[in-house]
Amino acid sequence: MATVYVPTPLRRLTGGLAKVEATGTDIGTLIQAVDAQYPGVADRLLDDDGNVKRFINVFVNDDEIRGLQGLHTPVREGDKVSIVPAMAGGEG
């Protein structure tokens, strides 16, 4: 199983859990596995075409999946997957 670190805005879907365990062969199947346990997660992460929304960053260990194989990035036993919503704002 991989450990998925859940950002604060999604924790209401996971019952307040900051991390959950799930199994998948790649990021796409891992997201679906988390969604099966905690319905609504995939809707918050994926766009209408099934891709990770542009303002969401997903890391496997320390590598952002867009620089790897996207949703096809392999996930192995013990991997740490972090979901990080992009932040905006600051001084104008």
Instruction: For the chain, give every domain's residue range.
Output: 2-85
Segment 36-47 mean pLDDT: 97
pTM of the model: 0.91
What pLDDT does 91 receive?
Answer: 65
The H-assigned helical ranges of the chain are 27-37, 41-45
CATH of 2-85, one of 3.40.50.11540, 3.10.20.30, 3.30.1330.60, 3.50.50.60: 3.10.20.30
For 28-53, b/e burial (b = at least 16 CB within 10 A) is bebbebbbeebeebbeebbeeeeebe
> pLDDT of 19-40, one tens digit each?
999 999 999 999 999 999 999 9
Report the largest interatomic distance among the alpha carbons of the chain, rounded to a whole angstrom.
44
**Position 20, amino acid:** V
d(CA 70, CA 15): 27
- Joined tokens for residue 83: 């979901």
Cβ distance 76 to 26 under 8 Å?
no
